[in-house]
Every structure is written in C-alpha cells, then in structure tokens.
Amino acid sequence: MPGFDAKMLTKHGGLIALAVLLLINIAITPNFLQLQTLFVNISQVATIAIVAVGMTLVIATAGIDLSVGAVMAVAGALAPLIFLSEFAQAYPTLGLAASIIIPILVALLCGLFNGMLVAYLGVQPIIATLIFFISGRGIAQVLTNGNLQTFSHPGFSYLGTGKILGLPFQGWLVLVIAIVFFYIVNRTMFGRRILAVGGNEKAAKLTGTPVRRVKTGVYVISAGLSGIAGLIVVAINSASDAARIGNLMELDAIASAVVGGTLLMGGKAPIFGAVLGAVIIQLVKYTLLANGVADEVALIAKAGIIVLAVYVQQGRKE
C-alpha cells in the first residue's frame, strides 16, 4: 500500500490497535455496541486513564511512581470517614465538600513526600515510591480498622454514577484532565521543564531549570490524580475496601503510559497517548473476560502488550 511502512505502524500503532480491538469486539463480543457496554468501559477505564496521565508526567522526568494504588486507597478510605462523620451529618454540604477536598489534599502531601525523597534526598524513584507502596495501604487499613465501609450517599456517589449529556461523569473528567495537562506539557514553561529534565537532567541544570522543584511537582501531580481516582472508585462501588482500592493500579498506569508512547528513559509525555493506552489496556481485558477467558489470561495478555509496546519503542530509536 503506497505510503504505508513500518514507521507508520510504529507512529500510529496505538490507533491501529484500538481499531483492530473495536472490529474484533463488534464481530465476536455479545452486546458490544450497546450503550450499557460503553458506560461500563468508560467507568472502568476512567480511573486507569486519570492515574496514567500522572504516571506519564513522572516517567517523562525519567522517574516511576509505584505508590499510586496506595494513594488511591488512602483517599478512598478517608472520604467515607468524613462524609459519614457527625460534622457532615450536621452540615451536609460542607461535609461533602470536605470529603472530596481533604482526601485530595492528603494525596498531594503523599506526592510531596515521594517528591522530596527523590528530588532532595536523591533516593531512586523506584525505592522512594516503594516506601509508600508498602506503607500507604497499611495506613488506609488502619484508618478503617481493616473493615469494608459501605454507604449510601447520592451526592458523593455522583462522582462514580453521575451522567452529563447521557455519558458518565468520570468520562468527561478524564477528557478535561487530559486537555489541561496536554496544554501544560505543550504550552507552559513547567511542561517544557518536565521534558528537559527527562531528556537530559545535567543539561537542564546548566540552563537554570529548577530540577528539584520540577521533579517534586510531577510526583505531587501524580499523587493528586491518584487521589481523585480513588474517590471515583469508592463512589462507583458505594463502598470503600482499603485492601482492594487501587490494587495493581501502578501496573495498569505504567502499561498505559508505555503503550501510549511514553519513553521509559524520559523526555516525552504524550498525554492523550496515555489515555489511548488506558483504553487499549481496558478493552483487551474486557474483550477476554466478555468472551469467557479467565482473568489470569487477561493479565498475561496485558504483559504481552507491554512487551510489544517496549519493542516498538526500541524500533523508533533505530
């Protein structure tokens, strides 16, 4: 075919993969074209996409964030504790606002902790974030005494079940977040500094880039987005289980970023690519499960996608 070559395949591999997955599902997956199926997939992919955007920024600085799932658990554990408290019962509007704002602020502090370890103490990102990966979920379980928290709160549940123009609220939220961070990466000084730090940290320092602040900033953003994702998960389920919220989310987020074209050595932050990667990861899992394939096989398929994406990245550099 004229104009089609390997370079085109590597450049547009994500879109091609998405098109193939859609065609396969239309052909073999029962009820795939129903609106309910669309809503289910949007709800499930939204949290992955939100966390993947933050992960993309971290990886763009040549870092990694293994704590995103634990941060989700902390935020998800805090929210019901707040809106079910006596204060929230007495002041419902303030209680609802606090149950959203406070968990996100706590998540931001978790990101600040990670960022300080990496940027100011020189701890390797994988070790720095592993600390909260281990301790964060424990903190969440201590907050809830290890108990499942169930609730019925229409206001808070809107985060997970609300609709705007007939589509799930969290889908619109993903779009807004993607647009905002696409603009930040491509049109602001902070975005250019992120890419500069990941591309060549020594050169960035020589040009006066505040490397430490930039690194700290991306971990704060990653944690803040993880906190939002944790709230959405709790709102969807009308329950908070600290042991399960965000479980293995760090792997899905990294996979989405890589599939979306983020280079593991840093210097590139394709925001919409990360969202596309999240859609592909979710759609592969849905395709297998909807057609009776065991969840364990879905995990293997996910691993295969990551290997293929890394291989394609290597091909781009040659």
- Flag whether pLDDT at 254 surpasses 80: yes
Q: What is the mean pLDDT of the chain?
A: 89
Per-residue pLDDT reduced to its tens digit, 3-17? 445 555 556 667 888
Per-residue pLDDT reduced to its tens digit, 192-231? 999 999 999 999 999 999 999 999 999 999 999 999 999 9
Per-residue pLDDT reduced to its tens digit, 83-116? 988 898 899 999 999 999 999 999 999 999 999 9
- Flag whether pLDDT at 171 surpasses 70: yes
Through-space distance between the first and last CA atoms of the chain, rounded to whole angstroms: 23
What is the rounded CA–CA span in Å between residue 61 and residue 158?
Answer: 34
**pLDDT given for residue 1 in this prediction:** 46
Per-residue pLDDT reduced to its tens digit, 110-152? 999 999 999 999 999 999 999 999 999 999 999 988 888 888 8
Higher pLDDT, 239 or 178: 178
